[in-house]
Structure 1
């Protein structure tokens, strides 16, 4: 019975966290829509794919990931600033590889909305977005 109550409590907390996250994203200049999350054949890793929509002028926080990312611009122009590198601006149809653990910022530098398809190969059961200073 204690186990059932513990699991139910954890599910309620997870649900409340998810709802708060969705509400925050709806009011945010950035909106991430998770598309796929699945274990892969390499033990301890998973593939995650998400669409990230940027309002005009929107800028991500400086962050990293516990694995690699491939960012593919679906619409607009997005500037990527990776630590230790010059900024690069990608337009619709262009892609960028971001190595594991490299802090970066993404900014919509176009006139309208921008979108990217982010594909990650990351460590399973770790936070996908790690805020950096």
Structure 2
């Protein structure tokens, strides 16, 4: 009887963490398309993301690759184990599955980007991750 309770509590914690992560201050995400792909059990999620001036999307991971295109503004990309990178409007980047990363907007204007994630249907789009040791 204790196992279902533990599973329920773990699921509740996980969902609460994912929900609070998705609502980071200064970040808005609008899903444009969610569609099955040729890999069984996975789908593509296409989103438009806006990062407000001084907005930060904390460290997180995805269960699949992330491919992003910066429409406007300059986005600072932090990827575990790599030097910080600024991606300017018209630039793009790929973050492999399971790699911790974060983005921030150090500028005075909002940054707009299009993201594509190919992820498992039964997992959250993103999971919070600890910041890597410097």
* Shift of residue 117, structure 1, vs aligned partner: 0.6
Q: TM-score, normalised by structure 2?
A: 0.77
Aligned residues: 111
Q: Which runs of 5+ in 2 are unaligned?
A: 1-14
Deviation digits for residues 58-117 of structure 1, max 9, x if unmatched? 010110101000111011000110000001100111000100000100001222111111
CA distance in 2, matches of 1:34, 1:129: 14
Pick from 53, 56, 69 the counterpart of residue 66 of structure 2: 69
Deviation digits for residues 12-68 of structure 1, max 9, x if unmatched? xxxxx9xxx6xx85x931101111111111111110011110110101011010100
Find the counterpart in structure 2 of residue 12 from structure 1. Answer: none
CA distance in 2, matches of 1:75, 1:103: 24
Q: TM-score, normalised by structure 1?
A: 0.78
Find the counterpart in structure 1 of residue 105 from structure 2. Answer: 108
Pick from 82, 92, 101 the counterpart of residue 85 of structure 1: 82
Which structure 2 residues correspond to residues 17-56 of structure 1 after superposition, within 5 A?
25=23, 28-56=25-53
Q: CA RMSD in A?
A: 1.8
